[in-house]
Chain A
Amino acid sequence: MTKALTIVIVDEDRDRATAIADALRDACDCDVFAISNSSNLARKIAAHSPDIVLIDLDNPTRDMMEELTLASGPLERPVAMFVSGAAGGLAQAAIEAGVSAYVVDGLTPGRIKPVMDTAIARFTMIRQMRSELAETRLALEERKVIDRAKGLLMKAKGLDEGAAYALLRKTAMDQGRRVADVAEALVTASGLLG
Chain B
Amino acid sequence: MKTVRIPVAYMPLVDAAPLVIAQEMGFAEAEGISLDLIAAPSWSSVRDMLAFGRVDAAHILSPLPVAMAMGLGGVATALSAVSVLSVNGNVIGVGRPLEDRLRTIGYGFDFADPVRAAEALTQVRRGPIVFGVPFPFSMHVELLRYWSRASALGPDGIVIRTVPPPLMATALAAGEVDAFCVGEPWGSVAVEQGAGALLLPGTSIWNFAPEKVLAVRTHWAETEPDLLGRLMRAVWKAGRWLANPETHATASDLLSRKAFLDVPSELIDRALSGHLTVTGRGEQRHVERFIEFHAGAASFPWRSQAKWIAEQLLKSHGKCAPCDLDEIAKVFRSDLHRRHLGSIGYDMPGASEKVEGAIRHAMPVASAGGGLTLLPNEFFDGHIFDPAHR
Distance to closest chain A CB from B273 (angstroms): 28
Query: CB-CB < 8 A to A57: which residues of B?
Result: 41, 45, 48
B171 near A: Cβ within 8 Å?
yes
A58 and B39 CA atoms in complex are apart in Å by 11
Our pick among B44, B51, B166 for the contact of A62 (Cβ within 8 Å) is B44
Q: Which of A58, A67, A96, A100 contacts B136 (CB 8 A)?
A: A67
Known: A70-B136, A71-B318. Contact between A60 and B74, CB under 8 A?
A: no
- C-alpha spacing A67/B138, complex, angstroms: 13
Contact (Cβ within 8 A) A63 B48: no
How far, in Å, is B138 (CB) from chain A's closest CB?
Answer: 10
Q: Which residues of A contact B41 (CB under 8 A)?
A: 57-60, 62
Of B52, B72, B76, which is within 8 A of A92 by CB?
A: B52
List 13 other contacts, CB 8 Å, given A62-B42, A63-B43, A69-B73: A39-B170, A57-B45, A58-B45, A60-B41, A60-B42, A63-B134, A66-B74, A66-B162, A67-B162, A70-B72, A70-B136, A71-B319, A79-B74
Report Cα–Cα, A71/B76, bound state, in Å. 16
In Å, the complex CA distance between A42 and B163 comes to: 10
Interface string of A46-88 (1 = CB under 8 A from B): 0000000000011111111111011110000001111110000
Q: In this assembly, does B54 line the interface, its C-beta being within 8 Å of a C-beta of chain A?
A: yes
Pick the contact of A100: B43, B44, B76 (CB < 8 A): B44
Q: How far is the CA of A100 from the CA of B43 in the complex (A)?
A: 13
Q: Contacts of B171 on A, CB cut-off 8 Å?
A: 39
Which residues from chain A contact B32 at a C-beta distance below 8 Å? none
Please name the residue on chain A nearest to B49 by beta carbon. Answer: A95
- Chain B residues with CB under 8 Å of A96's CB are 54
Instruction: Say if the beta carbon of A102 comes within 8 Å of chain B.
Output: yes
Rounded to whole angstroms, the CA-CA distance of A193 and B52 in the bound complex is: 49
**CB-contacts of B242-281 with A (<8 A):** none
8 residue pairs bridging A and B, Cβ less than 8 Å apart: A57-B41, A60-B166, A63-B134, A63-B164, A66-B44, A72-B317, A91-B52, A100-B48
Q: How far is the CA of A66 from the CA of B53 in the complex (A)?
A: 20
The one of B161, B164, B319 in contact with A61, judged by C-beta atoms closer than 8 angstroms, is B164
Q: Which of A64, A67, A69, A102 contacts B164 (CB 8 A)?
A: A64
Distance (whole angstroms) from the CB of A129 to the closest CB of chain B: 20
Return chain A residues, CB-CB under 8 Å to B134.
63
Give the CA-CA distance A82 to B52 in the complex, in Å.
Answer: 12
8 closest A-B pairs by beta carbon, nearest first, are: A81-B74, A62-B42, A60-B41, A63-B42, A69-B74, A62-B44, A95-B52, A60-B164
- B323 CB-CB contact with A under 8 Å: no
B317 touching A63 by the CB < 8 A rule?
A: no
* Interface membership of B293, Cβ < 8 A: no
B54 to A60, Cβ gap below 8 A? no
Q: How far is the CA of A91 from the CA of B48 in the complex (A)?
A: 10
Across-interface contacts of A66 in B (CB, < 8 A): 43-44, 73-74, 135-137, 162
Does B176 touch A at the CB level, under 8 Å? yes
User: Can you name the residue of chain A whose Cβ is closest to the Cβ of B74?
Assistant: A81
A71 cross-chain contacts in B, Cβ below 8 A:
317-319
Closest residue to B170 on the A side, CB-wise?
A39
